[in-house]
Structure 1
Amino acid sequence: MVRAGCSGLRWGGIREGAQCAAEGGQLGIMEWLLEKNPDMLREHMLMCAAWEGLDLPTARRLRWQHCQRNRRVEDEWDEDDLHNALVGALGDPTPQWRSKVEWLLEQGAQVPQDDNDNEGGKAYDSSEGGWYVTLPFRAVQGRFPGESICERFEWLKSKGHPVDCSCGGEPLAYAIIGGYTATVAWLLEHGATPAAAHARMEDLLPGQLEDKHLGVLQALKAAGCLELRDFVHGAAAGGAMAVVEWAGEEWDWAEDGVLTPALFTSGAKSGSVEVMRWLLQRGCPMSEGAWSKAAESGCEAAVELLAELGCPIPADSQGIFTRAVERGAPIATLEWLLAQGCRADWGKARATVGKHDEFLEPFEDSKVNVLAWLSRKQREEDERARQQRT
């Protein structure tokens, strides 16, 4: 079935397909695609993918074929190719990573030690759209549990190739985002610099945290590099109740000055009634800005709670309705907003639905149903206005 789906691929699709197959360990599919265009064996990125997803004998065979195609001697490694192969092998999620990495180290591969060294210390990663990243950074982004990352770093250290964690914050930042508690603790213990990662934490953490980040946050606090302000909005916006409750036990929120209308609005963004009530019980004030965020969440219970609590509806209620439509709120929530007195700009609402990419962010109710509902509600409103005039 997979081959049938690939039968009409052009060159670019065949190349990408072969790389993905190699990276995913799908040897049969990769070889079938190579039969269609053997010149792909010249491709450096195919070799990278092979070292990540295929076993050592197969990767070495492809390496030999690659050298034959490019009229190169197999034993004469290009420095970039050697580093890229090492990055791929270290990112293999299966136990075969060890034999590949050991063999590559015997060929002269070096673990990069300087995050700012642009010559030899970087490895190309196509998944990053052309960015050059360090080997430790690539390992943290791998497709395996966080504990396995520590195991690989420890193994490299035992072989005389310690990973220098003190030179930059990318590995630490991405371990934090991934929720890899053991990896965060290991990196902190081995010299990772929270100060270097802090900029990334500010950029990424305030988004939407999940309960899986609790262990990571606890490790950061134990290391003395976490403040309540660093993550409280992200915890509220993500509806991470376990994180919120833990933070409530560890910090004095009133003393830290975080109980603001903006924090409650972050909680409304999550649509979590539990988080919103928790914040209110601790004296967090509301503001009318919470309406738009609750509406965007699409959670009818969240907007009902705002009405129950007497949160004032802003004068620009049309904006609330349009944003709710834009975020794919269900028709039941839109009905409720209208019943609470929100006004609708029907033209803007329909235009918003028309521009919405349902593939990237699907509506809870289909676009067709939402458009039909908007048209019907506008007709009903127009009819009421006509009757009032007569």
Structure 2
Amino acid sequence: MPDIPLGRRRARPASHIWTPDILQSVAAFLPPNVMACTIRLVNKSAADQFKHFVTTRLSQSVPEHAFRHHWGFPAATRTLTYEERTQLLCLTASSRSLVNLKLAIKSTGLLPQPKVLYAAVKAGNIRVCDWLIRSGCRCPLMDMGRAIGESGSKEIYAWAFGIIDLFEDHSDAIPGSRSKRSTPDRFNSYSRSNSHNCRIHTAWAATCAAACSGREEFLRWLLQRLLELPQVSGCTLRAFNPIHLLEGAAEGCRLATLQWLHQQLPKLQLLSTPNRNQEQQLPLSLKRVQRLLGAAARSPTPDWRAKLEWLEDLWQQRQQFNEVHEVPDVCQAVMSHPTEAAERLMWLQQRGYSVSTGTALVTACKNGCMAAVQVLLSQGLSADAAMSPAAKAAVMGGHLAILQALHGFRPLERTDGVYMLEVAAGGGHVKIVAWLVEVLGIGLGDGYGELLTKAASRSGSVEMIAWLQERSCPWSSECLSLAAKAGCEMAVTYLVEHGCCIPRQSGAPYVLAVQNDDMAMVRCLRRLGVPWDPKGSTFTACVRNVGADKRRLPLLEWLVKKGCPVNWLAAKKYAGPGGQLVTSWLKSMKAERRQRKRKCPEQPLEQTRIAKL
């Protein structure tokens, strides 16, 4: 058979070998993100076959090529606020991909935040955690303990206790390092320990977090480690109440684990100091029983009813127990479940639990529990005053449908309209603002325009700012600074391009950007020509925000290199006694700037900066 010249062969696309059967077999072994970002893109047939794989979850591993395509350039995050960019970093850290995390940090222009380390520890990826630690990222010890408990990883526990000494001297020295993450009340009462008790406090926080997050096997293991630590004593656990642990288990664990932990209470009680008030001792007080019942009522476990019934039986012999039904907080606790709140509320009411309709309504509106709101409205309000805080809570949560339901039940008062407008604008809720203006008849030209533009700038929502600008709402002199703090580059650019007044001399937008560790915003402000104080107060305020945190020195270095005026004496003063590294860096920068002036004596530094721009 004669050879056929290669040029005459009809080549078939390589993707044709991927028949539907082969693709289906391969898909069974691939994670959803790979399906969405890779397999669906093979050909049109694959896209039709796997059309339900359309969502990419950043908290799971994302193929590097897809992540680079979407987030691998600075402009990709210009529309995001500071909080949204921080969330992007946290989700990427949770995905366990160090390559993607490095790329995300570069594109967002943010320094690694304590929240990012928290997310990495919670995800249980030692490699990512190690890199963040080497990059200078720290978080408070109690937050570290909580993340360990939520991770459920013995390897993370061993790693964290191997490097825990790094946190003793630095976790509280970093300005702004305190996590803004909301935590249960049982965690907030823990005091900061001395260095020799750091391990005990971290282990206790991990144990409570493991109970609250339902890590049952890990909880038992942590309790054993806690009891084996050599310095466990009444003095060490003075600030801790074992009942906090039981409360966490009532929320996150199954009934069997809750019962087992209850049996361990006497042993744990002996570890704490005997000088405790009546509420913290066994037998439990009415308030503590109520909190335990509330924890069981809001529990995400399928046996939440069984746990609540067991807790009722446990203390039904107490004369005070009947009083628990009269306290409405148990019913209010179920409002943390938007989809199940109504069902749980009615079940509790059938068991005799009372409900404060007004308080429960506010919580339901804030959490977006539409079904529960309808149930509560059908039962009637105990006071007309409950409508106003409920409507404000709905606006704060951004729930327009609930706000409309409240208005249909009882018309909203115009006197509360201005406050609700400000809250809605501050949350970037354009639809709610438009609805309130239409329904309540509030004119934006009645002196409220400037108030709303300030709130919209605080939200960082370009859509909200543009909506107000189209209606001729006047700018405030604070708008640019508020937008810089919100951290949305597009919002700041929009304000400057549409004539928003720029703060002169003070340089406040730079200070707020440095406070957020936001290099991208600092560059954006300079690119837009926002001035700084010629006498050096801008740089001094930035140094004051940086404090003793060497991780944030690149922000100061960038300002100096771009020609930001510096008052060296004032900057050294505000570096603080603990900022030796920052002080030495200031000396080196001062010497470098003097040397640069000697090389170019004929050209002032400000002219050099302008030439570079």
Corresponding letter in the other structure for 1:215: A
**1:332-371 to 2 correspondences below 5 Å:** 332-337=523-528, 339=529, 342-344=531-533, 347-356=536-545, 367-371=552-556
Name which of 237, 240, 247 aligns with 2:436: 247
1:46 CA drift (Å): 1.9
Q: What is the CA–CA distance in structure 2 between the aligned matches of 1:172 and 1:376, rounded to whole Å?
A: 55
Structure number with greater Rg is: 2
**1:229-244 to 2 correspondences below 5 Å:** 229-244=418-433
Q: What is the CA–CA distance in structure 2 between the aligned matches of 1:384 and 1:69, rounded to whole Å?
A: 66
Q: What is the CA–CA distance in structure 2 between the aligned matches of 1:138 and 1:192, rounded to whole Å?
A: 19
Check the 8 A contact 2:210/2:216 in 1, yes or no. yes
Q: 1:301 to 1:17 in 2, by over 3 A?
A: closer
Q: What is the CA–CA distance in structure 2 between the aligned matches of 1:319 and 1:356, rounded to whole Å?
A: 12
1:126 maps to what in 2? none
Corresponding letter in the other structure for 2:154: R
1:247 CA drift (Å): 2.7
Q: 1:94 to 1:292 in 2, by over 3 A?
A: same
2:475 is paired with a residue of what secondary structure? coil
**Gap runs ≥5 in structure 2:** 1-123, 125-152, 162-197, 271-281, 566-602
**TM-score, normalization by structure 2:** 0.49
**Gap runs ≥5 in structure 1:** 115-120, 123-133, 359-365
1:186 maps to what in 2? 375
Q: What is the CA–CA distance in structure 2 between the aligned matches of 1:218 and 1:373, rounded to whole Å?
A: 49
Does 1:136 pair with 2:326?
no
2:195 maps to what in 1? none
Does 1:151 pair with 2:343?
yes
Q: Deviations over 1:240-295 (max 9, x none)?
A: 22322333442323189464212122222223222122113334223333232233
Check the 8 A contact 1:346/1:374 in 2, yes or no. no
Check the 8 A contact 2:417/2:440 in 1, yes or no. yes
Q: 1:336 to 1:54 in 2, by over 3 A?
A: same
Corresponding letter in the other structure for 2:522: I
Q: What is the CA–CA distance in structure 2 between the aligned matches of 1:379 and 1:289, rounded to whole Å?
A: 22
Does 1:374 pair with 2:556?
no
Q: Deviations over 1:131-157 (max 9, x none)?
A: xxx3234333x4xx3131221111112
Identical aligned pairs, as a percentage?
26
Does 1:330 pair with 2:521?
yes
2:297 maps to what in 1? 90
Q: 1:387 to 1:276 in 2, by over 3 A?
A: closer
Corresponding letter in the other structure for 2:304: W
Q: What is the CA–CA distance in structure 2 between the aligned matches of 1:113 and 1:26, rounded to whole Å?
A: 30
Q: Deviations over 1:193-223 (max 9, x none)?
A: 5625856976x788xx46x422232233233
**1:208-287 to 2 correspondences below 5 Å:** 209=396, 212-224=398-410, 226=412, 227-254=416-443, 257=446, 259-287=448-476
Q: Deviations over 1:6-63 (max 9, x none)?
A: 3547333332222221222211111112223459999222222222222223322332
1:362 maps to what in 2? none
- Aligned-residue CA RMSD (Å): 3.9
1:297 CA drift (Å): 2.8
1:55 maps to what in 2? 254
Q: What is the CA–CA distance in structure 2 between the aligned matches of 1:345 and 1:83, rounded to whole Å?
A: 60
Q: 1:314 to 1:70 in 2, by over 3 A?
A: closer
How many pairs are equivalent?
349
Name which of 380, 383, 389 aligns with 2:605: 383
2:103 maps to what in 1? none
Q: Deviations over 1:111-138 (max 9, x none)?
A: 7455xxxxxx49xxxxxxxxxxx32343
